[in-house]
Amino acid sequence: MIADIGIDLGTRSILIYGRRKILLNEPSVVALDVYNNEVICLGREAEEMRGKTPDRIKIIRPLSGGVISDYTMTSLMVNYFIRKVCYSYIIKPRVAICVPSGITNVELRAAINAAYAAEARKVFLIDEPVAAAIGAGVDFSKAKGVLMLDIGGGTTDVALLSMDGIISKSSVKIAGDSFDEAIAKYIQKKYNLIIGEVTAEKIKLEIGTLSGFDTPRTMTVKGRSASNGLPAKIEVSWQEISAVLTDVAEQIMEVFSTALESAPPELVGDLKESGVVMTGGGVLLHGFDRFVHEHIGIAAKIAPRPIECVAIGTGKSLDMVGELKAGFKEVLPPDSGNV
């Protein structure tokens, strides 16, 4: 059995690719008993408890905000999920991990150590845009610029790739979840109604758009009145939500200027032809490709299976060891002192 796996360690979900398919896709959350620091459960099981737990149980997203913020919880999660998919492996797996950009060395170590602790034979790290490009089947081996845009839950990454490497990149901590936060803020300000993150995301998925709809669309939203704490409901239209979303999307677009300003003009010139390839769950917001095109004047297309692209590319990168020039490296076990 080929014992290679690729892990996309996202702020929202952890995906593992191996044996030419997605082996696991679970929310990257932990349910923790804060009285005794005991982990109750992880992944999907923990996510299903969200909003329904007593005070002593907290549902934690250790990777939230796009960086690994909790060493112990992250180690635990990575270890648990690798073991979950590799329990029957006879040969120790080679593990490639895609970590969020902006991560610190300490945080990175949590993931690497956890992979070695879960019996990885070798551990590799890959940058998200490189993984996204491989997963999307984009050829960046030529001397031609290719632009990748990944909008996840917590981070947006843009990178210009060429000749198997990264020419320039940039990232911001405004992404898919920022839309939900903006919706919740708007609903509270305009209607005096407090809604949770699950409801805010539902509004985005049901009536969210950046390019508009031809037909009227409204949604009934239930929450708690900010004035008397009692249950209340309101009706919202796509038009008002679209204005809120557009504001956030415009902030996300600023990520392009940093990545493109520092890039060689010849490669940027290629982009008129090759376009922007979009990956990550955030790009599924209705009309996002059109929005990107209008804002940067470069045609944008959403990759097939955008949510799984990074995991697929991370797994496939292990077939390209030696070929990839940048954004991919092997890391040695904890006691070797190498990061």
Ligand X SMILES: Nc1ncnc2c1ncn2[C@@H]1O[C@H](COP(=O)(O)OP(=O)(O)OP(=O)(O)O)[C@@H](O)[C@H]1O
* Residues found near ligand X in the complex (CB under 6 A): 10-13, 66, 100, 152-155, 175-177, 201, 204-205, 280-282, 284-285, 307
Given the DSSP bridges, would you call strands 4-9 and 13-18 parallel, antiparallel or unpaired? antiparallel
Question: Tokens 């998919």 — which residue?
Answer: 85
Which of these segments, 6-14, 79-87, 157-165, 262-270, binds Mg ion (CB under 5 A)?
6-14
Question: Tokens 């990061």 — which residue?
Answer: 339
- Which residue from 182, 150, 155 is spatially nearest to 247, judged by alpha carbons? 182
- Which residue from 144, 151, 146, 108 is spatially nearest to 130, judged by alpha carbons? 146
Closest CB 80 distance from Mg ion, rounded Å: 19
Comparison of 296 and 303: residue with beta carbon closer to ligand X: 303
Comparison of 148 and 260: residue with beta carbon closer to Mg ion: 148
Count of chain residues binding Mg ion (CB under 5 A):
2
From ligand X, Mg ion, none, interface partner of 204 (C-beta below 5 to 8 A by class): ligand X
Is-contact 134 317, C-beta < 8 A? yes
Cα separation of 199 and 98, whole Å? Answer: 29
Chain centroid to CA 173: 11
Comparison of 145 and 152: residue with beta carbon closer to Mg ion: 152
Is-contact 242 204, C-beta < 8 A? no
From ligand X, Mg ion, none, interface partner of 177 (C-beta below 5 to 8 A by class): ligand X
Closest CB 35 distance from ligand X, rounded Å: 29
Among 6, 10, 135, 145, binds Mg ion (CB under 5 A): 10
Phi, psi of 120 (to 5 degrees): -70, 140
Comparison of 6 and 10: residue with beta carbon closer to Mg ion: 10
For Mg ion, the binding residues in 103-162 under the rule CB under 5 A are 152
Closest CB 62 distance from Mg ion, rounded Å: 15
